[in-house]
């Protein structure tokens, strides 16, 4: 924003950014107005925080047609003009400079979700939750549930949407049964059970008939922790063939905890 508005701060001058052809090209808008522009662009997924460069933004593929003049967008004038305090200036007062861009993007995502549901923004997440997200930068849903204000229900409803902002892209899809275990002791057990069934899907020699367990069956095993082959056999979705194929490996995992 300092470059766009032509503000020659010591950091801008030190890095030679005052010599860029884009220096001061956006002088007609104030800093709060430019902050509102970027906030709306992040809300439309045109720019995202760069997870590898704190405080930096990068353009998404959706922004390329606009950049080339092939498409246009219309921003809310009432947001761009006259805003007494922008999200970015508020964010700057709440977190370290390196986390400002991410916190601003998280707030933009929260605003979009709240507007879509017709609820106040704090119903999605309060500021303190977004601040902790920006500071801790969780990389998985399991890590996210350790953040203050995020329980199982909110993780299921909003976790992926905010994790996409933090990671700067799409989040690997996990079945609902696995997402419900996020942050719980059963979660790593589920993951190891899943790895074992993939390795044994065609038997130890790799030549057998393909077999697998559904996510809901793996969730049952991870939660109930059967201790014998008989207990495992009696779980819904197992039966004789799957117990014979996976039983010993599953019980080893459960014993190890």
DSSP character string of 12-74: HHHTTGGGSTTTTTTTTS-HHHHHHHHHHHHHTTSEEE-TTSTT-EEE-GGGHHHHTTSS---
Alpha helix stretches (DSSP H) within the chain? 2-5, 10-14, 31-43, 64-67, 77-80, 87-94, 100-117, 121-124, 127-136, 141-144, 152-167, 176-179, 186-199, 215-224, 229-233, 239-256
Q: Are residues 165 and 204 in the same domain?
A: no
Quote the number of domains for the chain.
2
Query: Is 212 found in the same domain as 133?
Result: no
* End position of a domain, from candidates 173, 198, 233: 173
CA distances from 88 to 33, 61, 72, 164 (A): 10, 24, 24, 20
**Quick one: tokens of 236?**
């819904």
pTM for this structure?
Answer: 0.47
| pLDDT tens for each residue of 125-170 | 999 999 999 888 888 888 888 898 998 788 888 988 898 888 876 6
Band of the pLDDT at 192, cuts 50, 70, 90? Answer: very high
Return the pLDDT at 254.
Answer: 95
State pLDDT tens for residues 179-189. 777 777 888 89
Asked if residue 31 is part of any domain, the answer here is yes
Q: Which domain holds residue 199?
A: 184-256
């Amino acid at each position: 924003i300092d470059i766009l508005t032509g503000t020659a701060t010591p950091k801008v001058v030190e890095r030679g950014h005052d010599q860029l052809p884009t220096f001061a090209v956006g002088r007609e808008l104030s800093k709060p107005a430019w902050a509102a522009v970027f906030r709306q662009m992040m809300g439309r997924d045109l720019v995202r925080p760069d997870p590898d460069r704190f405080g930096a933004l990068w353009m998404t593929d959706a922004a390329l047609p606009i950049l080339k003049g092939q498409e246009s967008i219309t921003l809310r004038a009432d947001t761009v003009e006259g805003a007494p305090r922008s999200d970015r200036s508020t964010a700057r007062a709440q977190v370290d400079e390196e986390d400002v861009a991410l916190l601003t993007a998280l707030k933009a995502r929260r605003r979009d979700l709240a507007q879509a549901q017709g609820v106040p923004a704090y119903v999605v997440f309060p500021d303190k939750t977004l601040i902790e997200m920006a500071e801790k930068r969780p990389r998985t849903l399991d890590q996210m549930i350790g953040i203050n204000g995020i329980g199982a229900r909110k993780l299921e409803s909003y976790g992926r949407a905010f994790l996409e902002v933090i990671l700067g892209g799409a989040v690997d899809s996990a079945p609902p049964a696995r997402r419900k275990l996020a942050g719980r002791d059963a979660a790593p057990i589920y993951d190891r059970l899943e790895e074992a069934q993939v390795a044994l899907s065609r038997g130890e020699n790799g030549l057998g008939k393909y077999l697998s367990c559904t996510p809901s069956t793996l969730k049952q095993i991870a939660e109930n922790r059967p201790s014998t082959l008989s207990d495992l056999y009696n779980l819904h979705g197992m039966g004789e063939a799957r117990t014979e194929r996976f039983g010993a490996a599953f019980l080893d995992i459960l014993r190890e905890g």
